[in-house]
Structure 1
Amino acid sequence: MSMIHFSKNKEIHQPLPNGVTISGDTLTITKNTKLEDTLTIKVHNERVESLHIVFDNFSEAKVILEIIDSLESPANYQVSLENKTGSHVKFLLITEIKSKSSTLDFKSSSLNDSEMEFIGGFINDDLNAKLFLDLNGQGASLRVRTIAVSSKDHQQSLDVHMTHYAKNTSAEMTNIGIAGSNGIVKINGVGQIEAGMKGSSAFQTLKGVITNDLAQIDVNPILIIDEFDVKAGHAATVGKIEEDVLYYLMSRGLSLDEAQRLVINGYLRPVIDEIDDELIKENVIKLVNERI
């Protein structure tokens, strides 16, 4: 595993992996590069205004971006990805932002025959996150999985937009919100297929899980389809963990809190299992279990 600590002064003190370059706020995985190891980028208490990551033609890489911000003043993070022709990308974004009224703007573009899997873990106090993931080249495919966790006095808003600007593109999203105590999670999932983008597909699933009656979750699946020759669908559910599941676990000796944690940690597995950095993994598990 390779690691980069990214600062607002763009100071990089460790050697970069072969095939990785940095210029200003742009990190590039160069053409035809296949990174064998996961590349982890850590931004800790650094108000990096923007970070642009380019996956050049036919590159293959798995990248983890961890943003930790414990400063009190509002922050505005801007992250963008450019997935060029034939690139194969797995990108994990893990955020732990404790400042109030902060924003995160994420944008990606996917060109011809590129493949991207985006996984997001949002464990923040008060954050408004907007994700715009565009399919700009024929044959591009996108899979999105996000989890947002809120607890006492926390409020998170997550807007995920997948837009098809090319023919024969495919996109799928699964967004899960988990709220405990009086936490609030709002998730808008938008799948949009522009006119003329024949042969495209857009599917989305939104799920909200609350652990008590004070928690709030609002999920809104939205499809905007301007073409006939496509496939599209959506589903959304919100509610508490099924009582029969909790009863079964409690009959095996677990307390109610322990049973809820076990089920919720099951929802987290798609994110947790992709984190190669053991310190990041342990911290995410710890934070989530503190909130639920």
Structure 2
Amino acid sequence: MEQINPFILKSLRHQKGWSQDRLAEMSGVNKQTISRIERGGKDTRDHTIRQLAQALGVIPAELTRKTLPSEDSQTEPARRRPKSRFRVSDTAGNYLYLISERYFIKPWQVLELAPLLFCWAAEMSLGERRTKIKKLEDACSAARAVEREMRHLPPSNLMYSEEKITAETRSIEANDIFGMCFGDDDFSDGSLHNQGDDEDNPFAVFLSKLTAEIGDVATFEGFSPIDYPIFEVCRKEALDMVGGDEVLAERILSGIVDLYEMPKELQDFAGKTEDRAAWVQAQADAFIKEQLKAIERRNKTKEAAP
């Protein structure tokens, strides 16, 4: 058995805009196994590696490489703006398109505003943590005061809570939004800390709560310092584009179909729903056909190898 590189598996999954549930559905590997692999350090059966590789459109050896894909690797998302030094996934590109339709704003304006909105979210997250740590400090002080009045009881021991306060305060002061700077010796009970975990790190928890407050416009699954954020926005707009067809809307939301390639005559949301749905279907079919051809070519190459 070999070890799958968890960073490569996550990178390939996020490039497609897939959640762990979606990868499980496409590969036939259960979500618990995928989650375990992405946490790293576990040997994986050969047939599981093959299933995941086939679903992601890569050869099995790609998943077990020791390094991340290179800057020019084909596994990286395509560039949206050639002059930029960063890359935007096809899924995020489609979200920009749908957001522009929902709020009557240009995609480039959303990108220009993104740094401000990220700073706002990060500072709001840190502020919420400051409030919570203050509550914990006040609770510990109140507990000590009450226990001092109960002299017949053993002395108060709130050391573990004090360790949490010290470590969390240091993390906040370092603007550590993902909770990455906790050390192995920060907590005396020896419990493991899931540093930067997709779902449990403080920034992911804050974004999840924030998303829940705005209703069904967006959903959020996870975000860590080494991965693409996993979220969804504007499902209603995607459905409206294709006359309510759930399958075709999913093709748009997953980035399989590039909305920026849509003919101009189909870009008006007010009409031509059937023609637009037919175009999305044709684009999705072409994409899936190419993926199947690529998998077949890789399999033939592997069989021909000595």
Same fold flag (TM > 0.5)? no
Larger radius of gyration: 2
Greater helix proportion: 2
TM-score (norm 2): 0.22
TM-score (norm 1): 0.23
Q: Which gives a bigger RCO, structure 1 or 2 (Cα 8 Å, sep 6+)? A: 2
